[in-house]
Structures are given as C-alpha cells and as structure tokens.
Amino acid sequence: MKTRLPIKAELQRKAIHLLMALLLLVLYQSFSRPVIFGFFIALSVLAGLFEWLRIHSNPLALALQKKFSFLMRQEELASTGNRIHFVGATWVLWSLALLIILFPKNIMIACYIMFLIGDAMAAVIGKWTERQLA
C-alpha cells in the first residue's frame, strides 16, 4: 500500500517534476533532437543504474535517506531485495525517454507536459480530498 506524504513534501516532489518539464523546453530550444535524445536516454540509463545501486548498496541507500527522506515515500525508502520501488523521478525520466523514442518533438513535448501537470494535479487533489473526507 502506498504511503501518503505531507502536502508540503508532495508539492516539493511535483515541483521537481515541473522543473523537468521546464528543463526539457529550454533544452529543446537550445539543442537538436539527436542531442536531446542522447542526453535523456543516457540520463534514463544512469537513473536505472542509480536505482540498482540504491537498492543493492546499503551505504548509498542510507546516504540518500539522510538527504532526501523528506521527499521519498515509505515504500521507496524500504526498497531492498524482493521489495523494489523505484523513486518517482526515475519513472518520470523513463517516461520521457519513451516519449522521445516514440513521438515527434511537438507531440512528445505536449504529452510530457500533460503527464507532468496531470500527475501533479492528481497528487494535490488527492491530498485535498483526503483532508476533506477525513
């Protein structure tokens, strides 16, 4: 079962996602599609490697918990062995890599921004309704 973060932490998580959208737009204005493709594919591979290291390296996991535990859900913090939960930022990068592979620039940017805004709104509305229904 997913644990809920306080609204402040959820907003911080979503702000990071929205900053990724802004970064994508700025990069696409500055570089060609092949450069962007290579950059985000490499970043996605690095994110996967980092996740593997986080899950299999206790010192790295502890260092990340110390630094970023306020942004991480309980199941992300407890990822070890057979219980693996990737952090949200990794899923965001992998989603972007897939969109870059599958779609032309304009469609990819529109899809990615809708994904990030929809994800952020779902989290905020979920927090709001959780408080209203409690």
pLDDT of residue 89: 78
| Reported pTM | 0.70
pLDDT of residue 42: 92
pLDDT of residue 71: 67
Burial 31-70 (b: 16+ CB within 10 A, else e): eeeeebeeebeeebeebeebbeebbeeeeebeebeeeeee
In a structure prediction context, what are the per-residue pLDDT tens digits for the chain, which is 134 residues long?
455 667 777 778 778 777 877 887 788 788 888 888 898 889 989 988 888 887 877 787 788 778 776 667 666 666 555 666 777 778 888 888 899 889 998 898 899 888 888 888 887 787 777 666 65
What span, in angstroms and rounded, lies between the C-alpha atoms of 120 and 17? 8
Instruction: Concatenate the DSSP letters of all residues of 49-90 into one string.
Output: HHHHHHHH-HHHHHHHHHHHGGGS-HHHHT-BTTB----HHH
